[in-house]
Structure 1
Amino acid sequence: MSITEGPPMEPEGSSKKATRHQGHVDEVENQSGIPPATGAVPNPPIDLRHGGLHRGLSARQVSMIAIAGTIGTGLFLGTGRSLAQGGPASMLICYGIVGAIVYVTLLLLGEMATQYPVAGSFNAYAIRFFSPAYGFALSWNYWFNDAVSVASDLTAAQLVLQFWTTWHPWVISLVFWVFLVCVNATHVKAYGELEYWLSSLKVITVIVFIILGIAVNLGANREHEYIGARYWHIDGAPFVGGFGGFARVFVTASFAYGGTESLGITAGETKNPSRNMPRVVKFVFWRILLFYILSIALIGLNVPWSYPGLSNKTTTTSPFTIVFREAGSNVAASFMNTVILTSVLSAGNHALFAGTRVLYGLSVAKPAAQAPAIFSWTTAAGVPVPALLATSSISALCFGSSFIGSGTLWGWLQNIVGVSNQIAWLSIGLASWRFRTAWVKQGRPLDQMKFRAAWTWPWGPPFVVVTVSALILIQGWSSVFPRFSPVDFVSFYIEIPVMSLMFLGWIILKQVVCTAELDTSPPVLPATSTTPLLRRKYQWKLHDIVDTSTVDLQRDEYEEGEIDKADDEEREKRLHGRAGLLWRVYYWVA
């Protein structure tokens, strides 16, 4: 039985400035000089029975979705790998740097997602404002990132299970895989509600961990001794592995923070996005940054980088579980491990949802779809089932852990996903740079922007582009020096040549199609000449960078409807009523 929440979204009124229908992503401006390719995959007609995605996610759910995508395996398990490879000081510094970069990136994304809340999010913005060819490569890369993230989370489930037993760990991965596919095959509201409660459990657990971690450090541990900064001064600490170990932590930190950018992917299914997206952007990352920095500081104080089994070929132990065990209770450690297992489930759920929406967005891109039309089909409840099945199938990679070791496989997948997250942040910076340039060049007043992070003007986009580019280049240092490791090097840098080939492939394919069309089209007679008919010529280009002076800045701008206005009025009544203070606390927490 399908769950529905109102009819599929259709355009409201006769306005040409905005559309409420999310069955198609932005129609990309053809600014590259390339004629529309009629031979490309056409956009499928909208089936009235399956009218695209539904706006079924509330601000409460969207906020928790952003948290769920970051407080997961990266924090609970990835910190163990970071501590073992870089030491406590490297971990604290690198997570702080990456956190600052991601916060600025989230603000830049918030500006575009609030103005144009469409399916596809930053992938669509890269196509629209920067380059369709680059957007094509980025979208497929990010879809693969989400699909691999599901495999990574299922592999992490095997690592967590080793705390109790080593009996056929792949079974838990199979059970989780089936459960995640079933949840995502229902209405988007079911996905949002599951994420909300799982994320709430994780937030509560992190708060408990912070309190317990302080107590353990002060003496409430098995030895009843004050720990302080003792583990910062043991052999090899606080910087383990020199510069190579320090640089290597950047990719694990990027893996941990990854998922924040997919906040924009939910824009196409968020109620009242012009109000809710800015609220989410302003508050959610401060909570994440608070949880991460405090948790990481306490991990570095309470767990030595040389702790047995912290991170090796066959296993990775969560520092959270170690701290709970040091508190003197194996029961508490088992509870913590159970929470980590649910967080793995939540992170996989989030990645599967995001990857499905990215593939759907590719299939409905204009003027030419960038994925087969089958992936644009949705159920009456607004679920793109073919895209869901294609994304979930990649998670079969997790079963490779039976042959090469769960710890090793998870490390490789973590590197790939971390670099892909960085490419996504870089692309948000590029799209925002071009978007802001177009807005100013076309003379639109800044006060017409529905949300503007004023303090990031004009340095925000170049800051993100430069810093993320530096991270991508230096973090693989340990794979080259002092000894070259081919496998590690590939996991750090494989996505750069792959994206470059996809970019060039799209450019060449589009122009080959256009050239063939001109060669077979009827000759053209000059307007003021009696000479014979002439054959049109086509000039090849090596790029398709969008012209910021002509890109349409009004199409797909969101216009508030009656439901949105009623939602705002209800919120204002609550905030200014007798229980206004309690409602403010609720909105901040929930």
Structure 2
Amino acid sequence: MSSSLSDHDHTAAPLERHDSGNITKKATASSVDLHEDIEHGEGPIGALPIPPVDKRRAGLHRALSARQVSMIAIAGTIGTGLFLGTGRSLAQGGPASMLICYSLVGFIVYITLLLLGEMATQYPVAGSFNAYAVRFFSPSYGFALSWNYWFNDAVSVASDLTAAQLVLQYWTTWHTWVVSLIFWVFLVAVNAIHVRAYGELEYWLASLKVITVIVFIILGIVVNAGGNQAHEYIGGKNWHIPGAPFVGGFGGFARVFVTASFAYGGTESLGITAGETKNPSRNMPRVVKFVFWRILLFYILSILLMGLNVPYTYPGLSNKETTTSPFTIVFAMAGSTVAGSFMNTVILTSVLSAGNHALFAGTRVLYGLATTTPPQAPAIFGRTTRAGVPLLALLATSSISIICFGSSFIGSGELWGWLQNIVGVSNQIAWVSIGLASWKFRRAWIRQGRPLSEMKFRAGWTWPWGPYFVIITVTALIIIQGWSSVFPHFSAVDFVSFYIEIPVMIFMYFAWIIIKRPAPLSARPTTPQETQVEPSQKPGILRRVWRRVAYSDAVDIRTVDLRRDEHEEEPEDVADDLEREAHLKGRWGPLWKVYYAIV
């Protein structure tokens, strides 16, 4: 098969299960026919975003292995939210609030990831849940969501670069913005090379983070048991100091939800890698099932040990000027400033990893917006280099990061807090949207009579309550987490950082629906006779205005196309599966199981 088709294999129409030769021929024919339709402006009803065919460009490449995708999911979650954001959570809510909130949000996100996994395995495309919202819920809502999530990723890069300045303040306060600038140039350069460069960098940085968290858990137990500089048993003393374990009452408790959402943000971008994942029908379910349990385990144990070992009153834990990592504090308690400096260095690499992940995800979201039908972003952002990198989308996403240099005027600690709130709420909006898309997807699947056995991955224990649970619980979090910005005293800046994205989403939804008036992707094409209206039958101006304002592009579950864009295994995918099965059933099967579990 030609390189062009292999790069665009996720655009092929559904294939029947035949021998490899037939599969290749059918894939070629369907890809050509489909792209001819797109070139003539005749996008298929219910189709997902389809990368354009460009003889000079390679399009997105399927070059990420299961090993890299697993670590990308881990890298996207174990980052500044865990290493640095927990200091803010502990100072604002106390140890009990932090443990409860992170546990609740972790469970919600796990259910959300299962819902996303069902759709991403069935339709592995660039755009992920943004594309699923367009296809199964509403094109206008999908437009607003996609731009919101792109902004979320762009701001996340700025947040991570600001976090780098906070980490550096452990050693010096002299021109910390210089390191942010160096990091920015490095991240843009890595992402501009090839998706494999991004995947490999993320793999090793994520590996370092996982090892660090494991060491921290062991060290935290030792420190609590008396292996600290004071040589005293700590136990649960920090849960009984004045004000603990719930600091700031209900307002402090509610405030931790948004920092927890910031910390867990990134897991949903696992679906964005589906368009560039090898053998997605096999690798995506593996990643969804196993990765998040590891992440949840790391979070809960780490947060429990932080609350036990670090008092919420620790100097410099979180204020306007700085935020100190509880990881660094515990390492310093165990030995010396050298141990603290080592941990701080590791946190600095995690900041780099988190920024790398956010920049990749934001670039792919913008690329998906530019290549969907109809385009929801300038088509120039859909162009890729020969290496398969959407370079202009990369530069546009990275340019938002310039706001991180505003820390010189605002204070790194306060700026990072605002960015945390904005990104946290944006993550929550994405989770609600995954729930909405999954709700309509599952209803359409049942309504159209397709057997559940045809789903490539199905989280059976979440049927039918999963989507409802995600939508209701996350909506409740969005509403209550800004409590501290209203009571007991109203803080306009904090209130805006908590809720600014909601009116922006509403404005973008109505702007797109009024200006573009998109047809739902489940709508049938109208005939020329139906579009012709007699002059005497034309409605008055008030009626036309009302029709435009009250227009709905909600997708009809009875007619949405559930077969278009389904991924069918290529010969390479089948060969990969056979090779894995041969390894597991062979003489060295137990060793291969250990290898696959680790790698």
Quote the Cα distance in structure 2 between the aligned partners of 1:54 and 1:20. 18
2:322 & 2:381 partners in 1: Cα distance?
37
Confirm or deny that 1:207 pairs with 2:214: yes
**CA gap 1:14/1:523 in 2 versus in 1, 3 angstroms:** closer
Q: Which residue of 1 aligns with 2:7?
A: 8
- Contact (CA 8 Å) 1:73, 1:256: kept in 2 or not? yes
The whole-number CA distance in structure 1 between the counterparts of 2:243 and 2:33 is: 57
How far residue 525 of structure 1 moved from its aligned partner, in angstroms, is 7.1
**1:50 Cα deviation after fit:** 1.1
Letter of the 2:591 counterpart:
L
Instruction: Give 2:582's match in structure 1, choosing from 569, 573, 576.
Output: 573
Deviations 1:427-457 (A, max 9, x none): 0000000000000000000000000000000
Count residues in correspondence: 565
CA contact (8 A) 1:95 1:293 kept: yes
Hey, what's the Cα distance between the residues in 1 that align with 2:64 and 2:326?
33
Aligned position for 1:36: none
Aligned pairs for 1:453-492 within 5 A? 453-492=459-498
Q: Which has the higher helix share?
A: 2
Aligned residue type for 2:462: T
Selected match of 1:408 from 406, 411, 414: 414
Q: What is the aligned partner in structure 1 of residue 76 from structure 2?
A: 69
From the superposition, tell whether residues 308 and 436 of structure 1 become closer, same or farther in structure 2 (CA, over 3 Å).
same
- Aligned residue number for residue 82 of structure 1: 89
CA distance in 2, matches of 1:432, 1:575: 34
In structure 2, how many angstroms separate the alpha carbons of the residues matched to 1:213 and 1:266?
Answer: 34
Question: 3-state SS of the aligned residue for 1:380?
Answer: coil
The structure-2 alpha-carbon separation of the partners of 1:92 and 1:20, relative to structure 1 and needing over 3 Å to count, comes to farther
Kept in 1, the 8 Å contact 2:363–2:397? The answer is: yes
User: Shift of residue 48 of structure 1?
Assistant: 1.3
Q: Does 1:91 find its partner at 2:90?
A: no
C-alpha offsets along residues 30-52 of structure 1, whole Å, 9 cap, x if unaligned?
79xxxxxxxxxx99952112142
Contact 2:139/2:518 (CA < 8 Å) preserved in 1?
Answer: no
CA shift, 1:575, in A, is: 1.4
Structure 2 residue matching 1:511: 3-state secondary structure: coil
* 1:371 pairs with 2:383: no
Q: Relative to structure 1, is the Cα distance of residues 409 and 234 closer, same or farther in structure 2, using a 3 angstrom cutoff?
A: same
SS of corresponding position for 2:433: helix
Q: Per-residue CA shift, 1:148-187, capped at 9, x if unaligned?
A: 0000000000000011111100000000000000000011
Give me the TM-score of the superposition, normalised by structure 2: 0.90
With over 3 angstroms needed to count, the CA separation of the structure-2 counterparts of 1:92 and 1:339, relative to structure 1, is same
Deviations 1:531-553 (A, max 9, x none): x8767667534321000100000
Say whether the 8 Å CA contact 1:27–1:365 is kept in structure 2. no
**In structure 2, which of residues 235, 242, 249 is the aligned counterpart of residue 242 of structure 1?**
249
For residues 160 and 125 of structure 1, do their structure 2 counterparts lie closer, same or farther at Cα, with a shift above 3 Å needed?
Answer: same
Verify: 1:508 aligned to 2:539, yes or no. no
Q: What amino acid maps onto 2:78 in structure 1?
A: I
Q: Which amino acid aligns with 2:489?
A: R
- For residues 362-386 of structure 1, the C-alpha deviation after alignment (integer angstroms, 9 at most, x for no partner) is 00111x1000010000001110000
Q: Per-residue deviation at 1:14? A: 2.9
2:284 equivalent in structure 1: 277
Question: Unaligned regions of 5+ residues in structure 2, if any?
Answer: 13-23, 521-527
Task: Give the share of equivalent positions with the same residue, in percent.
Answer: 75
Show the counterpart of 1:330. 337
Q: Distance in 1 between matches of 2:170 and 2:267?
A: 29
Change (3 A) 1:479 1:133: same
Do the aligned partners of 1:523 and 1:534 also contact (CA within 8 Å) in 2? Answer: no
Contact 1:20 1:558 in 2 (8 A): no
Q: How does 1:106-145 map to 2 (within 5 A)?
A: 106-145=113-152
Q: Quote the residue 2:269 is aligned against.
A: 262
Structure 2 residue 166 is matched with structure 1 residue 151:
no
Residues 525, 534 of structure 1: 8 Å contact kept: no
Note if contact 2:46-2:561 (Cα within 8 Å) is conserved in structure 1: no
Deviation digits for residues 482-541 of structure 1 (CA, Å, limit 9, x no counterpart): 000000000000000000000000010013999xxxxxx999878xxxxx8767667534
Deviations 1:314-339 (A, max 9, x none): 00000000000000221111110000
Structure 1 position 447 matched with structure 2 position 456 = no
TM-score calculated relative to the size of structure 1: 0.92
Distance 2:31 2:295 in 1: 33
* Aligned equivalent of 1:429: 435
1:279-311 alpha-carbon deviations (Å, 9 max, x no partner)? 000000000000000000000000000000000
Question: Structure 1 CA distance, aligned partners of 2:453 and 2:157?
Answer: 40
Per-residue deviation at 1:576? Answer: 1.6
Tell me the amino acid that sits aligned with residue 177 of structure 2: W
AA at the equivalent of 1:13: K
Q: CA RMSD in A?
A: 2.6
Q: Secondary structure at the residue paired with 1:163? A: coil
What is the 5 A alignment of 1:370-389? Answer: 370-389=376-395
CA distance in structure 2 between the partners assigned to 1:268 and 1:192 by the alignment? 14
Corresponding residue for 1:316?
A: 323
The 1:533/1:469 distance shift into structure 2, 3 A limit, reads: closer
Maintained 8 Å contact 1:44/1:373: no
Contact 2:125 2:275 in 1 (8 A): yes
Match of 1:360? Answer: 367
1:543 maps to 552
Confirm whether residue 346 of structure 1 aligns to residue 353 of structure 2: yes
1:44–1:142 distance in 2 versus 1, CA, 3 Å: closer
Describe the SS at the equivalent of 1:69.
helix
Query: Does structure 1 retain, via aligned residues, the 8 Å contact 2:254–2:483?
Result: yes
How big is the shift at 1:349?
Answer: 0.1
Q: Distance in 1 between matches of 2:556 and 2:28?
A: 22
> Which residue identity lines up with residue 196 of structure 1 in the other structure?
Y
CA drift of 1:7 comes to 6.1
Residue 17 of structure 1 contacts residue 557 of structure 1 at CA under 8 Å; is this kept in 2? no
Q: For residues 339 and 507 of structure 2, what CA distance do their matches in structure 1 show?
A: 50
Matched, 1:585 2:584: no
- 1:108-142 superposed Cα distances (whole Å, 9 cap, x missing partner): 00000000001100000000000000000000000
Q: Is the 8 A contact 1:524 1:534 kept in 2?
A: no
* Paired residue secondary structure (1:14): helix
Q: Does 1:216 align with 2:215?
A: no
Contact kept in structure 1, 2:52 and 2:371, CA below 8 Å = no
1:60 to 49, 63, 67: 67
Residue 153 and residue 13 in structure 1: after superposition, are their counterparts in 2 closer, same or farther (change >3 A)? same
